A = this chain, B = another copy of it.
Amino acid sequence: MRVTQSKSVVSQVEEILHGRIRDDTYPPGSRIPSESELSEEFGVSRATVRTVLAKLAATGLILRRQGDGTYVNSKIRETSANFGNLWDFVNLIESNGYKSSIKALSVGLRTATEQEMTALSIGPEEKMLSMARLFYADAQPVILANNAIPASYLCEEVDRIDGHLPIREILRRYCRQEIAFAITDIRSALASDEIKTIMGAGLGETVLELQLAFYSKDNLPLALGVNYFNDAILRLCLVQAWS
């Protein structure tokens, strides 16, 4: 396998090894080649290989034992949610074993709420781009996602916006902004009548409420979100790994 210059060497090697774990070239519980063997195979330095293996170990996908070797974690399915892709709902739904789809309920401008004015440090005259979307697991609605972006960030007309895109992609395309970090509050809540109507049968008495704030590298607040999550159907699953 040769490595080209278009993407970074690290991310290329990462994709290859990730793929080998996914397709059982390296089966669960098995030992994968040593750092020196991998660095020789890919024609890269051992430091580069170590960077990749450290990333995979951080997600819990592999376990490393000094003096012994590196093993594929048999307790973690490749598909299971981990911290990095946790709020990637499409991925989350599919890793729960369903087919995912998105329905855009509404996309449009409105005035900012009190809460938004505080969180985004904007004035009362400022408009917000507000989006409501419903994520389905097979035919069952499981996540109601409300997101809002200050309209001043928009570089394009509102009616050109594709309501099916993830928030990260919307900010990238229509605002030319990149998310650097996000802060999430996780709460439990009683399912309101409105949510029960929208989410339909298969909803328990309670839902998970995820309150999100997205920021740029310049510490600029880019967007706010409130997501209602039907945890009777979907598992919200986190993996933590320590070195």
Contact = CB atoms under 8 A, between A and B. Distances in A.
A240 interface: yes
B83 A181 contact: no
Interface SS of chain A: strand
Given A187-B208, A188-B208, A208-B188, A181 B219 contact: no
Interface stretch (A68-76, A130-138, A144-152): A68-76
B180 A215 contact: no
A75 B75 CA distance: 35
A160 interface: no
| Chain A interface size range | 35 or more
Interface in A209-243: 215, 217-219, 221, 231, 235-242
Contacts of A204: 188
17 contacts: A63-B218, A64-B217, A73-B219, A75-B181, A76-B183, A80-B183, A87-B240, A180-B241, A180-B242, A181-B239, A181-B242, A182-B239, A182-B240, A183-B239, A185-B236, A188-B189, A188-B206
